[in-house]
Amino acid sequence: MAAITLRPPRWLSRGVALGLASAFTLLAARANAQTSVGGSAFGALVNTAGMVQQTPVAMLPTSGGMDEQSLDAFSGSTAVSSEWLTALTTGAVDDAVSSSQSSSDLQQVSVLGGLISADIVTAMAASYVSPAGAASDAAGSGFTNLVVNGVPMTTDVAPNTRVDLPGVGYAVLNEQTLSGDGVTTSGITVNMIHVVLQTLTGGGCTILGCLPGTLTTTGEIIVGSANSSVGS
């Protein structure tokens, strides 16, 4: 007796194919929906003596888009003054590459009565994620005519450069903080000028000897801040 070969009906094969295609489409849509972008930027933040002043913050929706905030001038008491502040953040979610970019740009910056000054301060943060991985960088960030403690600084300030400010605290220039696993998530926060205000408390001397004082953080000043992040 000849062997009998059973073939599924054409409508069944076609239905299975359509079902598989729909399943893959649904999975791809879910994967894309799980990818998010984030970003924010602002010109200046002053947090001293319990008083907080901050310039408008540009915020990126997790689904992507754009936001921009600007001011002609800002004066946070005697802590910070600046002109022409612009904060911008953009981003997009895509199957191939999802990315976000943020920037903060200020001109004629003066911090603590000129203890730190610059003609231009620019913070840039960029992040992306693709099937190949995720990464972030601060390319494009920099200063023009930066002066600290009366000393001109190089235009290309290395990331996380710390400068002591006697009687005030210290400053971190081109502060960069990375986050994420570098595979499916990545983020970076850039603060071009981050002043940590400190005061010496306690301590003193008696006939029995001297006790050292304790440095206590009393506030902070941030100028030129940009953040970007991506995740899937």
Segment among 131-135, 155-159, 193-197, 226-230 with least mean pLDDT: 155-159
Sign of the torsion angle spanned by Cα atoms 68, 179, 157, 91:
negative
Question: In the chain, which residue ranges form alpha helices assigned H by DSSP?
Answer: 10-34
Question: Would you state the pLDDT for residue 206?
Answer: 66
Judged against a pLDDT cut of 80, whether residue 22 lies above it is answered with: no
In this prediction, residues 73-79 reach a mean pLDDT of 83
* pLDDT digit string, tens, across residues 126-148: 999 999 999 999 999 999 999 99
pLDDT band with cut points at 50, 70 and 90 for residue 78: confident
* pLDDT digit string, tens, across residues 195-206: 999 987 665 676
pTM for the whole thing?
0.81
Rounded to 5 degrees, what are φ and ψ at 62? Answer: -65, -20
